[in-house]
Amino acid sequence: MRFQLINFVCPAILCSLCLLVGQPLSAQSGTVERSDEIRRALQRADYQLAVDLADSAIAHFDNFAPKQLAEIHTLRALVASEKGDRSQVDVHFLAALQLNPNQKLDTIFFSPALQQHFESMRARLPASEAAGHVETRYVMVSDPRLTAAWKSLVLPGWGQRFKGENARGNIFTFASVALAGAALTSHFLRTSARDDYFNANELNVAAAYDRYNKYHLLRNNLALGLGLVWSAAILDALIFKPKPGKIALRLSPRKISNEKNLTVLVTFSF
């Protein structure tokens, strides 16, 4: 009887487990394909397509690994160089170095002059912190969804609470615990009803069978519901990004000795 109960819960959870294993692999392959697409566009001298592919990837940077995004920035800088836009070359080279300080340029695509300029920027990188210089910086924040999905695989709702979604996590946990308890209770009632059915005489065998069949169907439906709730908790943790917390922004002037400019100190409170 134990195996029958497990058969209703495991398939849905196993499907979710396959999604967990396949998700990082598919994401990684997608980033590699984007870099290759940009290179192919550059080989055809289709610079507009290369720009569109690179800018699209940069706009959706959270879908790419840091090293892959750094590679895309270097290719975007190459397009800017072909168009004579030196400022954009510096912007994208700097972004690439921020993402991957050990980034190397492809000698097939990048001229010796560009490679030398890239290395000079790498050497000057610590000096780019000068006061008054404004630049766009990447702050890499880890995506908690994959870890949350594994936690919800262990206990429904745990992953939601890990992402800060306590109300949703409590709903999944309560629902799964309630369904699991009800399924176990109906399983024991089914076992008792089955014994009564096997020991029934001709007068009460029909009633005993009806009772046995009722608890049999109830147990199976509850086990199926538990599997669905469990799978929903895993998929919810894997698919939906956590909501950003509330941020309080405070600005205050700060005087720095031997500086002629005014520095503004920005404090974020989460």
Looking at residue 32, its pLDDT comes to 55
Contacts of 118-124 spanning 24+ positions with Cβ under 8 A: 118/74, 118/93, 121/90, 121/93, 121/94, 121/97, 122/97
- Distance, in Å, from the CA atom of 129 to the CA atom of 88, rounded to the nearest integer, reads 19
Residue 69 lies in a domain: yes
Residue 13 lies in a domain: no
| Residue whose C-alpha is closest to residue 25's, from 146, 153, 141 | 146
Q: Which pLDDT belongs to residue 125?
A: 77
Determine the pLDDT at residue 64. 82
Yes or no: say if 116 and 82 are a contact pair by the CB < 8 Å rule: no
Residues 172 and 101 in one domain: no
Establish if 220 belongs to a structural domain.
Answer: yes
Owning domain of residue 55 = 45-129
Structural domain includes residue 30: no
Q: What is the pLDDT of residue 39?
A: 87
**Given 100, 129, 158, which residue is the final one in a domain?**
129
Can you give the pTM of this predicted structure?
0.48
Q: Note whether 52 and 38 are within 8 A (CB).
A: no
- Asked, for residue 5, whether it belongs to a domain, the answer is no
Region for 248 from its dihedrals, namely left if φ exceeds 0, alpha if ψ lies in -120 to 50, beta otherwise: beta
Confidence (pLDDT) at 178: 95
Hey, which residues does 248 pair with through a beta bridge?
269
Specify the amino acid at residue 32. V
Q: How far apart are CA 35 and CA 12, in angstroms?
A: 35
C-alpha–C-alpha distance, residues 14 and 17, integer Å: 5
Residue 137 included in any domain: no
The residue type found at 11 is P
User: Has residue 196 been placed in a domain?
Assistant: yes
pLDDT of residue 138: 57
Q: How many domains does the chain have?
A: 2
Per-residue confidence (pLDDT) for residue 176, from 0 to 100: 94
What was the pLDDT predicted at 17? 52
Same domain for 52 and 123: yes
> What pLDDT shows up at residue 7?
54
In a domain, 66, yes or no: yes
Q: What is the pLDDT along the chain (270 residues), one digit of tens a residue?
A: 444 545 555 555 555 555 555 544 444 444 457 888 888 888 888 889 888 988 888 888 878 888 888 899 999 999 898 888 888 899 999 988 888 888 889 888 888 999 999 999 888 876 444 433 445 555 566 778 888 989 999 999 999 999 989 999 999 999 999 999 999 999 999 999 999 889 888 888 899 899 999 999 999 999 999 999 999 999 999 888 877 654 444 444 544 444 445 555 555 444
